[in-house]
Amino acid sequence: MPTAVILMNLGTPEEPTAPAVRQFLREFLGDPRVVEIPRPLWMAILHGFVLPFRPKRIAPAYEEIWNRGLDGEPVEGSPIHYYTRRQVELLQARLADNRPDITVDYAMTYGKPGLDSTVARLRREGFDSFLILPLYPQYSATTTGAIYDQVARIYRTNRDIPDISVVRDYYRHSLYIRALANSVREHWETHGAAEKLLLSFHGIPKANVRKGDPYETQCRETARHLAAELGLPDDRWQVCFQSRFGKAEWLQPYTDKTLEAWGREGLASVDVICPAFASDCLETIEEIAEENRANFQRAGGGEYRYIPALNARPDHIDALAAIIEEKIPLAC
C-alpha cells in the first residue's frame, strides 16, 4: 500500500510581523501540552500580558532571520520552513529508486500547513496510510505529545479513519548520532576543536519531568552517545538547557547562565551544538548563535562558535530515510 510520510516540525509565523507572530503564539502557547498551568489562570496571562506585548518584542528577531537564515545564508522565508521543505525534497529523491511506494510531505504543529489539512489533501490524492515523523529526536509531551493529540483529533473527526502511525523518538538512533558527530568533526577540521563542547537542548519545566516526561533522560542519553562517538572525555563537554519561559524552574543547568559563568572564568573557546533541533530556527540562529555569543564574550569569554543544526546534510537525510524504512518495511 502506498504510504505518505509526513515530516512535522514546530512551525513559524506566516511573516515576520507582530500580527503574524501574535497569531502564531496564540496557537502555540494556547496548547495545553505546551503550558500546563491551570487553564483559566494561563488564559488570563496569555491574553492579558503575553499576546499584547511579546509579539512586538520578538517580531524584529524574526525579521532579522527572514530570507537570510544562519550567517546570512539565503533562504526562502522562514528558515524552519525552508529547511523542512529541503528535507522533504531530498528525502523524496533519496527514497525514489528503492521505495517508490513512499511519498514524502510535511506539516507544522502550529501554523501552516497543519497536519489535518495535509492529511486531508493527501487522502484526496488516494493515500490512506500515513507515517508521521516528528523532527524531534527526543520525545516530550510538549512537542511530540502535541502531535499525538492532533492525530487523535483526526481520528475523532473522521468516520473513515486513516491508518496513521507516529515515530515516537530517535534520540539514540545510530545514524542520527553519526550525523551529529560528523557535523562536529567537520567543524573541528575547519576551525579546530574548542576547549569545551556545549550541547544545548531546548528546555522544559522541571515539573514536567517530575510528572513523568522522559525528555531530560533522552537528551542526556543523546549527549552521552555523541560524546562517546567523538571520544570526548567528561571534562570536555557539558549538557545545558535553553529557551526557558516564565518564572517556573526549568531543566538545569541553563545554557545562558553556564556560558556567562564560563566567560567569567576566561574560557578561551567554546563550540555549541543543539542536538534537539533538526532545523535551524529562531531559537538556534538568534538565541544561540547570536545572543549567547554576546553574553559569553561580554562576560570575558573568548572564541564562540555555533555548529549548525543537521538541516539538509546528506547524512541527516540518510538517518531520516533509515528511520522511515525501518517503520515501513518493503513488501515481499
Sheet holding 163-166, edge to edge: 102-110, 3-11, 129-134, 163-166
Cβ pair 136, 165 in contact under 8 A: no
- Would you tell me the crossing angle of helices 51-65 and 18-29 to the nearest 10 degrees? 110
- Buried b / exposed e over 27-44, threshold 16 CB at 10 Å, is ebbbeebbbbeeeeebee
Cβ pair 265, 296 in contact under 8 A: no
- 316 among annotated binding-site residues: no
Tell me how far apart the alpha carbons of residues 225 and 175 are, in angstroms, rounded to a whole number.
11
- 202 among annotated binding-site residues: yes
Tell me how far apart the alpha carbons of residues 201 and 138 are, in angstroms, rounded to a whole number.
10
Cβ pair 311, 273 in contact under 8 A: no
Cβ pair 9, 278 in contact under 8 A: yes
Tell me how far apart the alpha carbons of residues 124 and 108 are, in angstroms, rounded to a whole number.
19
* Secondary structure (DSSP) of 165-226: EE----TT-HHHHHHHHHHHHHHHHHH---SEEEEEEE--BHHHHHTT--HHHHHHHHHHHH
HEC string of 70-110?
Answer: HHHCCCCCCHHHHHHHHHHHHHHHHHHCCCCCEEEEEEEEE
Residue whose C-alpha is closest to residue 312's, from 102, 81, 157: 81
Distances in whole angstroms, Cα of residue 141 to Cα of each of 9, 34, 39, 212, 324: 14, 8, 17, 9, 22
Q: Name the binding residues.
A: 202, 283
- Binding site per annotation, positions for Fe(2+): 202, 283
